[in-house]
């Protein structure tokens, strides 16, 4: 829906189709992309790590350890991870100046957290506190990204909230069918920004509580739309815009309105 909207708006004759590719057919799928007339692809679970070996990954894909976008440059199949800029550009749009903060708290240490942490460091954030239910995963991520990433116990993140100017939820807590994230946003400073990657539901309990306190928020749908911009640009050569019109279309689809 997102890419068809942009193709229509920009008058480009192209398409975007969905294909289910079993793991044992991934290599064949990737090698035959160009032959079948494709200019690139998005890939999702469970192929995001394996495509790194089947393509030329850029610095972001290598650092995150996963790619979600493939495209051809001078006939060579390249890969990148657009979640990094989706996260950053969405924050820029929702809370300009957010990156002047010193201390950030990231909850979660899964695939999405790797993209978020890499993006925060790329923007020059000095201290990224990282809390995860499974402490070993937060420690492994901190080991990889260096001493600006500070792992802390999941039970201890509440004590940090009064110092945190940007809180990012990258866990699946708050998603439909999952437990809610137990956090007291009343402890955050009044100029804090809250970002939630979860987009089903669109307005998570975390975002609702942050808004009720008057904090700036950046939601998961905004990140999803912003991450799609780069793929479109790489495939079709024009940089599309995330507009209110596009957001309303996708929101209506997600909520069945």
As annotated, the active-site residues are: 48
Closest-by-Cβ residue to ligand NAP is 110
Cα–Cα distance between 219 and 122 in angstroms, integer? 21
Q: Please state the closest distance from residue 171 (CB atom) to ligand NAP, in A.
A: 3
**Among residues 12 and 150, whose Cβ is nearest to ligand NAP?**
150
Contact status, residue 7 vs residue 236, Cβ threshold 8 Å: yes
Cα–Cα distance between 246 and 225 in angstroms, integer? 9
Q: Please state the closest distance from residue 112 (CB atom) to ligand NAP, in A.
A: 3
Contact status, residue 151 vs residue 142, Cβ threshold 8 Å: yes
Handedness of CA 207, 87, 170, 46 (dihedral sign): positive
SS3 182: coil
Query: DSSP alpha helices (H): ranges in 39-165?
Result: 59-64, 83-94, 111-122, 135-145, 157-160
Q: Please state the closest distance from residue 74 (CB atom) to ligand NAP, in A.
A: 29
Q: Please state the closest distance from residue 236 (CB atom) to ligand NAP, in A.
A: 20
**Among residues 73 and 243, whose Cβ is nearest to ligand NAP?**
243
Task: Tell me the DSSP string of 13-34.
Answer: ----------GGGHHHHHHTTT
- Closest to 166 measured CA to CA, from 193, 198, 126: 193
Q: Please state the closest distance from residue 128 (CB atom) to ligand NAP, in A.
A: 15
Contact status, residue 43 vs residue 67, Cβ threshold 8 Å: yes
- Closest to 160 measured CA to CA, from 130, 197, 191, 198: 130
Cα–Cα distance between 6 and 246 in angstroms, integer? 9
Cα–Cα distance between 80 and 60 in angstroms, integer? 6
Q: Please state the closest distance from residue 179 (CB atom) to ligand NAP, in A.
A: 5
**Among residues 9 and 133, whose Cβ is nearest to ligand NAP?**
133
Contact status, residue 203 vs residue 218, Cβ threshold 8 Å: no
List contacts with ligand NAP (CB under 6 A): 83, 86, 108-113, 132-134, 137, 170-173, 175, 179, 197-199, 220, 223-224, 227
**Among residues 86 and 240, whose Cβ is nearest to ligand NAP?**
86
């Amino acid at each position: 829906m997102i890419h068809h909207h942009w193709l229509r708006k920009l008058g480009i004759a192209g398409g975007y189709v969905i294909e289910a590719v079993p793991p044992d057919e991934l290599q064949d799928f990737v090698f035959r992309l160009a032959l079948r007339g494709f200019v690139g692809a998005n890939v999702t679970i469970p192929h995001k790590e394996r495509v790194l070996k089947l393509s030329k990954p850029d610095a972001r894909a290598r650092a995150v350890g996963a790619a979600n976008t493939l495209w051809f440059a001078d006939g060579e199949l390249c890969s990148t991870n657009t979640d990094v800029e989706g996260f950053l550009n969405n924050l820029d749009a929702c809370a300009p100046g957010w990156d002047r903060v010193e201390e950030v708290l990231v909850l979660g240490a899964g695939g999405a957290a790797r993209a978020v942490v890499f993006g925060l460091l790329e923007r020059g954030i000095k201290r990224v506190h990282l809390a995860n239910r499974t402490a070993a995963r937060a420690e492994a991520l901190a080991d990889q990204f260096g001493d600006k990433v500070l792992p802390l116990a999941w039970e201890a993140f509440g004590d940090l909230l009064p110092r945190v100017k940007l809180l990012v939820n990258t866990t699946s807590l708050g998603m439909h069918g999952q437990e809610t994230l137990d956090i007291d946003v009343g402890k955050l400073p009044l100029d804090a920004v809250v970002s939630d990657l979860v987009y089903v539901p669109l307005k998570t309990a975390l975002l609702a509580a942050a808004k009720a306190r008057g904090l700036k928020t950046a939601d998961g749908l905004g990140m999803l739309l912003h991450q799609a911009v780069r793929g479109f640009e790489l495939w079709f050569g024009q940089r599309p815009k995330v507009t209110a019109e596009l957001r309303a279309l996708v929101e209506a689809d997600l909520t069945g309105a």
